[in-house]
Amino acid sequence: MKEEIKTAVIDHWKRYPKAQLQDLFKYLYQSSFGCEHLIASPEAVEGYIRQEAERAPCTGGEFIESLNGAYCRVHLDCIREGLCAETLAKLFFLSAGHVEDGKEQLEKRLSVLLETVEEGLLPFETEAVTDGIRRWREAGYPACRHSETFRKEYAPAYRLVKKEYGAFLPLFLTIDRMLREGPVNLAIEGGSAYGKTTLGNLLAQIYDCNVFHMDDFFLRPEQRTKERFAEPGGNVDRERFLTEVLTPLHHGEPVSYRKFDCSTFTLTEPVVIQPKELNVIEGAYSMHPELEGYYNLSVYLEVSPELQKQRILKRNTPELAIRFFEEWIPMEQRYFKEFKVKERCDMVFLFE
């Protein structure tokens, strides 16, 4: 942890060699507290983002600047490149909140900063850093501004968002660009516990979009044959999904579909959904060759086997987890390999 903080602080100074001590304090404060602001609504900040974006310096496409913690800076020139100010405002709003151990994290990072200066790895005087930390601590660690030197040299223009949101900035950019041309039907593919539902929920919060789940289309009892399970991608009722969901969406018509009830192994009463500008389909098998032609954007999520195992064990009983490891995951992997699903998706996001 100490070496990670030290490396992050040094890298930050190398990126901004004219940075003053208070700029390093600000970096460590943001790393510890994130965007701990009182925000009434995304609309309250959207206008400010638009105004600032007009004069934001160009980063050459490096829109994301990582902090040493759970947050990152999103530079506002991404607005000029196609991201909607409304989208960033919502991400900023969703990222805001109180960090319980923020003070503890900040003090730990400040001690590493002082140690780094004492080792001669940063161009600041030990006495100045010690005194600055003392005075800041006595004041209760209020949020600090960038120095005038930093503002003059680098014209900072950014918003803080959680790293887990910033990782998907290329997707948000793509969606915003495509929505200017017309409706978007997006498929989110990937294996069990890869984060598909979480991403779908995030998109719903940002875009107020429809989210359809492949888990609502498990096979009915009469479909559960040996021959069906032998098919790559056969572990879902793709025929009914195509008829009830994708075909109506493709024609811009209302969707009337029946969810599969796992407790009774029957279909529920029809649910009628009006199509929206963005319609998201999340779940394994959503990019089956019989379905992929109905999307104009597709995303593949992937996590390491270790992280997948951790998530499955955390979410399920030991008995159910065994079914994932011995039955469902092997079926997914066979489908991914047979149809080269990852290679056919427009965007791929890998998380360790």
- pLDDT tens string 35-70: 866 576 778 889 999 999 998 999 988 999 999 999
Q: Pick from 146, 66, 140: which is nearest to 103 by CA?
A: 140
Q: How confident is the prediction for the chain on average, in pLDDT? A: 95
Top pLDDT among 158 and 99 is at 158
What 3-state class would DSSP assign to 129?
A: helix
Whether the predicted pLDDT of 105 surpasses 70: yes
Rounded to an integer, the average pLDDT of 133-162 is 96
Rounded to an integer, the average pLDDT of 120-146 is 96
Instruction: Give this prediction's pTM.
Output: 0.93
Determine the pLDDT at residue 100: 84
Q: Which residues contact 7 (CB under 8 A, 6 or more apart)?
A: none
**What percent of the chain shows pLDDT beyond 70?**
99
Task: Name the band, by pLDDT with cuts 50, 70 and 90, for residue 9.
Answer: very high
Q: Write down the residue that tokens 């930390």 correspond to.
A: 133
CATH homologous superfamily, domain 169-351: P-loop containing nucleotide triphosphate hydrolases (3.40.50.300)
Residue 235 half-sphere exposure toward CB, CA atoms < 13 A: 18
Residue 337 CA, chain-centre distance (Å), reads 26
Q: Enumerate the CATH 3.40.50.300 domain ranges in the chain, comma separated.
A: 169-351
Determine the pLDDT at residue 40: 67
Residue 58, CA distances (Å) to 19, 138, 216, 348 in order: 19, 38, 45, 26
Q: Write down the residue that tokens 């998109």 correspond to.
A: 203
Q: 51 phi and psi, to 5 degrees? A: -65, -45
Q: 191 phi and psi, to 5 degrees? A: -80, 180
Helices assigned H by DSSP within 273-327: 305-315, 318-323
Q: Which residues contact 322 (CB under 8 A, 6 or more apart)?
A: none
Determine the pLDDT at residue 50: 92
Task: Name the band, by pLDDT with cuts 50, 70 and 90, for residue 185.
Answer: very high
Largest CA distance in the chain: 77
The whole-angstrom separation of Cα 339 and Cα 319 is 30
Q: 158 phi and psi, to 5 degrees? A: -155, 170
> How many C-beta atoms lie closer than 10 Å to residue 253's C-beta?
11
What 3-state class would DSSP assign to 46?
A: helix
Determine the pLDDT at residue 36: 67
> How many C-beta atoms lie closer than 10 Å to residue 164's C-beta?
16
The whole-angstrom separation of Cα 92 and Cα 62 is 18
The whole-angstrom separation of Cα 250 and Cα 293 is 10
Q: Is 95 exposed, middle or buried (0-12, 13-18, 19+ CB in 10 A)?
A: buried
Q: Pick from 251, 243, 186, 241: which is nearest to 214 by CA?
A: 241
Determine the pLDDT at residue 41: 78
Cβ(92)–Cβ(80) below 8 Å: no
Cβ(15)–Cβ(45) below 8 Å: no
Chain segment 213-272, per-residue pLDDT in tens = 999 999 999 999 999 999 999 999 999 999 999 999 999 999 999 999 999 999 999 999
Cβ(192)–Cβ(324) below 8 Å: yes
Q: How many residues does the chain have?
A: 352
> How many C-beta atoms lie closer than 10 Å to residue 139's C-beta?
9
Rounded to an integer, the average pLDDT of 299-310 is 96
In one-letter notation, the amino acid at residue 285 is Y
